[in-house]
Amino acid sequence: MRPLLRALRAAPLLLGATLAAAAGAAAQLPVSGTLGGGVGVEAYYFSDHAATGIRNIVLVTVPFAARAQLPARLALEVAGAYAHGGVALDGDDGRATLSGLTDTSLRLSRTFGRDRLVLALIGQVPTGHTRHTEEEAVVADAVAADLLPFRISNWGAGGGIGFSAAYAVTAGGFGIGVTGGYVLAGEFEPFAEADAPLSYRPGNETTLRVAVDRSMGRSGKAALQATWQGFDDDQIDGTNLYRAGDRLQVVASYQAAVWRGTGLVYGGVLHRENGTSLDPAAPGTPVQDLWLGGAALRFPRGRASVTPSIEGRVFRSEDGEGQGWLGGAGVSVDVPAGPVTLVPSLRGRVGNLVVAEDVETRLTGFEVGLGVRMAVQ
């Protein structure tokens, strides 16, 4: 508990220092843009400690982001986070912890024509924590669970570099956007306690996204987005090891004016094909589906805006393990405070997790956070 308390105490200082440094740098440049940051705490508690081997998972994150509009129709975006995770183990095994920066993402883009075409260079700077001890790996695996929507999914993946292109057009009352990208993954050593250095490189990633929207009635807008991701072979010490299954995500949404505010409903599914091990003695991963859905209502309250929301997730795996469901409800408030907008939020969650055949556990959780946005001129 003491490392968690230290992280909570340090979080406001880290956030303040990040925003101050970014604002100071932006003031020296002929640019405009936005700065953002925040502090978030997420926690999940399991009713059957013996089944999971875990009593609870707590994650504290301090995200930061900045976007600068540069001359010559260029834009630069930076995003990353500091995170502290803790897992209380069952019995007398104590608590496993993992702290540090995540990888930092950079994106330099330029618009062409009437802002219909956007070309971008993408960089994943390997500032994250990639070498894990056995204790740290317990935390990293818990945070990467598909059913639990943590704000981060890993502390680092070796970085990478790539590009993307996006084109948008209007045709027959429909807005249509197409985006394609390719990222070359970096190499890192994942095992801090290995007898000999062992290099690992995730497979390169190809992404294709198609989005379509259309205005309906006086205030409604319907949208449909489909995203496909394909992966090359993972490699260990230069030898092909594993190929992750292709992923396809489809999400539909509808937004309209409701009760002096704006309402949104959405639903979709993320389908993951089975992963294939290139070693006949090693198992692959099963086909998996993550179903998503929710609704939100944003309405003004004085100078502020209040957004209550509900959400649901159902995760299904072909082998029946690690699947379950999770539901949540919460509220966030946008509060203008001079040049800064504060966004406090609170959310509660309940669910059920299938650990193995005929072994299940209930879970409860909460998320509390404070976001900060600031415009820079």
Over residues 335-366, the pLDDT tens digits come to 999 889 999 999 999 999 998 777 899 999 99
Three-state SS sequence of the chain: CHHHHHHHHHHHHHHHHHHHHHHHHHHCCCCEEEEEEEEEEEEEEECCHHHHCEEEEEEEEEEEEEEEEECCCEEEEEEEEEEEEEEEECCCCCEEEEEEECCEEEEEEEEECCCCEEEEEEEEECCCCCCECHHHHHHHHHHCCCCCCCCCCCCCCCCEEEEEEEEEEEECCEEEEEEEEEEEECCECCECCCCCCCCEECCCEEEEEEEEEEEECCCEEEEEEEEEEEECEEEECCEEEEECCCEEEEEEEEEEEECCEEEEEEEEEEEECCEEECCCCCCCECCEEEEEEEEEEEEEECCEEEEEEEEEEEEEECCCCCCEEEEEEEEEEEEEECCEEEEEEEEEEEEEEEEECCEEEEEEEEEEEEEEEEEEC
* Global confidence as pTM: 0.86
State the total domains in the chain.
1
Over residues 31-81, the pLDDT tens digits come to 578 999 999 999 999 998 888 889 999 999 999 999 999 999 999 999 999
Identify the CATH number of the domain in which residue 157 sits. Answer: 2.40.160
Q: Write out the residue range of the structural domain in which residue 147 sits.
A: 2-376
Give the mean pLDDT of 300-312: 96
**275: pLDDT strictly greater than 80:** yes
pLDDT (0 to 100) of residue 20: 47
pLDDT (0 to 100) of residue 347: 98
pLDDT (0 to 100) of residue 131: 87
**93: pLDDT strictly greater than 90:** no
**236: pLDDT strictly greater than 90:** no
**21: pLDDT strictly greater than 60:** no
